Amino acid sequence: MTLSPRYRRFVWWSVVSLIVTGIYTYWQQSSEPAVVVAAPIDSVTMAERQLAKLREAAATVPQKQEILKQVSGDLALREKGIINADTAQQAQAQIIQVLRKLGQDERPPVEFRTQEIGAVRLLEKSDVYGEVLVSVQIECGIDQLVNILVGLAARPELIASNDMRLTSANPKEKTIGVRLTVSGVVPRKLVPGKKGAGTS
Average pLDDT over residues 155-171: 90
Q: Is 181 exposed, middle or buried (0-12, 13-18, 19+ CB in 10 A)?
A: middle
The letter for the amino acid at 90 is: Q
Measure CA of the first residue to CA of the last residue in the chain; give whole Å. Answer: 76
* Per-residue confidence band for 127, with pLDDT thresholds at 50, 70 and 90: confident
What is the pLDDT at residue 200? 41
The per-type count for the chain, helices as H runs and strands as E runs, is 4, 4
* Per-residue confidence band for 67, with pLDDT thresholds at 50, 70 and 90: very high
Q: Is 118 exposed, middle or buried (0-12, 13-18, 19+ CB in 10 A)?
A: middle
What is the pLDDT at residue 185? 92
* Per-residue confidence band for 36, with pLDDT thresholds at 50, 70 and 90: low
Give the mean pLDDT of the chain: 85
Q: What is the pLDDT of residues 97-108, one digit of tens each?
A: 999 999 999 889
What is the pLDDT at residue 81? 86
The rounded distance, in Å, linking the Cα atoms of 181 and 165 is 9
pLDDT at 120 over 70: yes
More confident residue, 12 or 135: 135
pLDDT at 116 over 80: yes
What is the pLDDT at residue 32? 59
Task: Report yes or no: 158 and 184 within 8 Å, Cβ to Cβ.
Answer: yes
The rounded distance, in Å, linking the Cα atoms of 104 and 148 is 10
| Cα-based distances in Å from 32 to 20, 25, 139, 192 | 20, 13, 94, 63
The letter for the amino acid at 65 is: Q
pLDDT at 79 over 90: no
Task: Give the containing element (helix H, strand E) for 9.
Answer: helix 5-30
